[in-house]
Structure 1
């Protein structure tokens, strides 16, 4: 099934060396999808030269098409390219692990020790730092993906479509793919941006994957086996819960709900937050009003994918509706369940589809379509950056509609001056002093703690 077929591959790159880098990627995976993709690009493309720019963007394009966290799926895809399924599983699981542990600890503190001042101080300091990192990542990824004016225009149109007209992400992807496909027929030099294996340059031969990875035709039998295996793994805990405590339990309800959520999270976590918040707060009562934003703050300021916010939702729901079970134990079990049902589909999508995407990598029609999608995704990620900026720096943001256009208008008197100052300090450290993400976040946390315990004491 896999296209990683060179028998000398593991001699070229020992699995233990890849493991060290995937741990490093996981620890540095702050800043949402834009920041996380930038981290992988830095480590895997720029420093290690394990995967070329074109192969990286080709994999990213496919992951952007999928529901779920694109950065985690990209790590799984590249891990699979390097060391088959073992590499994909390790890369994908390590990407999740730090965020899972962090949010589990914070969820316990939140539920049991809601008024712990140090927790508020840490959150207050981290968010402006993450803002600076996200902006930097959007700029960096945009420079690499937008190769010409046509790609820039497509990115701008995608931003306008999603930010002002609230167009659903799948429709933007579809329109961008069709535009790229047709554009490649009539204006190939502008749309054939992501090159396939037939278009390797001399410089790309320096990269491990382009030098050692060969394409083989995927096996339909192995594809079917993969689908059945991961569908079974996906369904197994739900079946056990139904037999153990029944279909009316909080665990079964959460398992079903987040299984559905896992297949509709196109466009990243923000695109599905409104849906989750409405269901979790209004329909199920798992969260109280405003707690969803607290959970999002946890996900934004810890390593790992933003969609990990679902873990907090699941924890709080089970904590509140634990029945005869200890609330903290119920919350921990729900965290495991929700994480399982959210991320098992990611491995299903990668291990099933990636071999075909790799096999078709030299197809110019496919690559021009994916080039168009990449440009559109830059606009979508920019939308997330702008949304994040507005809601981080202003206490109140009004949303209005006129002539079909959505306007987000912050109330200027609610601007958070301390957050702005910490954000400027973080931006200076990150962009001018060239500090790495962890150092930037650390100085911001220190600023947040000092502000809380000196000025708000």
Structure 2
């Protein structure tokens, strides 16, 4: 097959592309960096379906969007290779294994969460999550904080969230506005580091001109926007009709729809916001359970934001309304998964034709640079949240004027959690073990501490 004879909308035979995306979907462990690396190896190095520069071009666009950038990259590349159907297949397969796995693990947690085995697993997994989130702070900070102003913005966002409890969307909005203003006066502010090497890598079998493309069109954009919004909110509207506006399904559908459009910087950045709302506002689950949910999401393939599925499952099981708790849990889990990932398809199909225009917009780049800096502080706040509720059994609130700070009760410290956290930090930072391997060792340690008490 030569590039000249390749159909514009079917660059790679759809069946062959589907097999490749299914293979990728089973290897998407380790967060977005690992997921992007899997796609890079499979599509650029091994299959040579897309060139290195074209791959990075797509990645840079996805980094500008809210939501899981790795899944959006899969949708984008699938669209380039096989048009809209290719994008749908790539995006669905990317999350499907994780959805099924986390649904099963959530059911196991709810059904057997009080058993010694499950308790032991979580006793090891929760401390490991602390090390993983701290590593995320270090990695994102190293890439994003390349200017003193950005360091100051990261610290300010951390203090705003931790000490003054400023709402997460407000922090992101202010950071974007400041980034735009500063970028107009400090050119070096918006010069971000490259996402990867500029090396072109192996020559692709398919020329860039043969890849799928659509000319920007207001009519096309309006059709996609309307269809996307209808698909996005139809299940929420149906839940309101069937179960009433006050049902847990509508609350979850609306809340997680909003969360889906403010997840700049990946799942870690929005989890502090989700945790606060789910625990303190809606009461869907307890603070420590957010850590357990994240631990489960870390062990499954797919985007880490899949943890919202666990939140929905547990929350609906405990607030089922007139339904059987298990039926309510499954319905809520699927509903939240839908409203979380449908926007990813909308953003790619709607924005892809304009990608070059967006990437060359200096003002947009500056605003997103500010948001990325704030994200570092947001992830640090998440690390503190998990540390507080994992290493200590109780906490207290220090309220004084605008200050609203959560502090641990030192006498409630958990020596086992401290020890496993130290092991996890050693494995992640010194031994440089993978996420999955670290979680496995810590899970074994947690089981041992529970089943073989000293």
Q: Could you say if the C-alpha distance between residues 431 and 85 of structure 1 is closer, same or farther in structure 2, counting changes exceeding 3 Å?
A: farther
Mapped to 1, the partners of 2:433 and 2:198 lie a distance apart of 33
Match of 1:269 among 268, 271, 274: 271
After superposition, residues 236-385 of structure 1 pair within 5 angstroms as 236-237=234-235, 246-248=242-244, 253-265=247-259, 266-267=262-263, 268-277=270-279, 280-281=282-283, 291=286, 293-294=288-289, 297-302=292-297, 303=300, 304-306=303-305, 308-314=307-313, 317=316, 321=320, 323=322, 327-385=325-383
- The SS at the match of 1:39 is helix
Deviations 1:166-214 (A, max 9, x none): 2333333333333333333332133232689xxx995368797xx9488
**What's the offset of the Cα at 1:326?**
5.4
C-alpha contact 2:306 2:337 (8 A) present in aligned 1: no
C-alpha contact 2:310 2:333 (8 A) present in aligned 1: yes
**What's the offset of the Cα at 1:83?**
5.5
Mapped to 2, the partners of 1:158 and 1:242 lie a distance apart of 36
Mapped to 2, the partners of 1:157 and 1:57 lie a distance apart of 28
Mapped to 2, the partners of 1:343 and 1:37 lie a distance apart of 15
**What's the offset of the Cα at 1:216?**
6.4
Mapped to 1, the partners of 2:344 and 2:197 lie a distance apart of 32
RMSD: 4.0
**What's the offset of the Cα at 1:56?**
7.1
Partner of 1:395: 393
TM-score using structure 2 length: 0.77
1:445 maps onto 2:443 in alignment: yes
Partner of 1:136: 135
**What's the offset of the Cα at 1:142?**
1.8
Mapped to 2, the partners of 1:112 and 1:195 lie a distance apart of 46
- The SS at the match of 1:406 is strand
Q: Could you say if the C-alpha distance between residues 75 and 428 of structure 1 is closer, same or farther in structure 2, counting changes exceeding 3 Å?
A: farther
**What's the offset of the Cα at 1:403?**
4.3
Partner of 2:48: none
Partner of 1:33: none
Q: Could you say if the C-alpha distance between residues 381 and 241 of structure 1 is closer, same or farther in structure 2, counting changes exceeding 3 Å?
A: closer
Deviations 1:289-317 (A, max 9, x none): x5564365224332343463355434653
Residue segments in structure 1 that go unaligned for 5+ positions in a row: 30-35, 282-286
Mapped to 1, the partners of 2:370 and 2:359 lie a distance apart of 15
**What's the offset of the Cα at 1:441?**
1.1
Partner of 1:162: 161
Instruction: Report how many residues are paired.
Output: 425
- The SS at the match of 2:419 is helix
Q: Could you say if the C-alpha distance between residues 452 and 139 of structure 1 is closer, same or farther in structure 2, counting changes exceeding 3 Å?
A: same
Mapped to 1, the partners of 2:335 and 2:387 lie a distance apart of 32
Mapped to 1, the partners of 2:396 and 2:129 lie a distance apart of 23
**What's the offset of the Cα at 1:136?**
1.7
1:23 maps onto 2:15 in alignment: no
Partner of 2:3: none
C-alpha contact 1:126 1:445 (8 A) present in aligned 2: yes
1:203 maps onto 2:199 in alignment: yes
**What's the offset of the Cα at 1:449?**
0.7
Mapped to 2, the partners of 1:82 and 1:157 lie a distance apart of 43
1:426 maps onto 2:428 in alignment: no
**What's the offset of the Cα at 1:80?**
4.8
C-alpha contact 1:127 1:301 (8 A) present in aligned 2: no
- The SS at the match of 2:397 is strand
Mapped to 2, the partners of 1:358 and 1:258 lie a distance apart of 35
**What's the offset of the Cα at 1:271?**
0.6
Mapped to 2, the partners of 1:383 and 1:433 lie a distance apart of 25
Q: Could you say if the C-alpha distance between residues 79 and 320 of structure 1 is closer, same or farther in structure 2, counting changes exceeding 3 Å?
A: same
C-alpha contact 1:128 1:419 (8 A) present in aligned 2: yes
**What's the offset of the Cα at 1:401?**
2.8
Q: Could you say if the C-alpha distance between residues 39 and 46 of structure 1 is closer, same or farther in structure 2, counting changes exceeding 3 Å?
A: same
C-alpha contact 1:103 1:312 (8 A) present in aligned 2: no
Mapped to 2, the partners of 1:377 and 1:82 lie a distance apart of 32
C-alpha contact 1:19 1:90 (8 A) present in aligned 2: no
**What's the offset of the Cα at 1:18?**
4.6
Q: Could you say if the C-alpha distance between residues 218 and 23 of structure 1 is closer, same or farther in structure 2, counting changes exceeding 3 Å?
A: farther
Larger displacement relative to structure 2 (333-342 or 360-369):
333-342
C-alpha contact 1:259 1:341 (8 A) present in aligned 2: yes
Mapped to 2, the partners of 1:56 and 1:349 lie a distance apart of 13
Mapped to 1, the partners of 2:78 and 2:419 lie a distance apart of 39
Mapped to 1, the partners of 2:407 and 2:392 lie a distance apart of 10
1:38 maps onto 2:38 in alignment: no
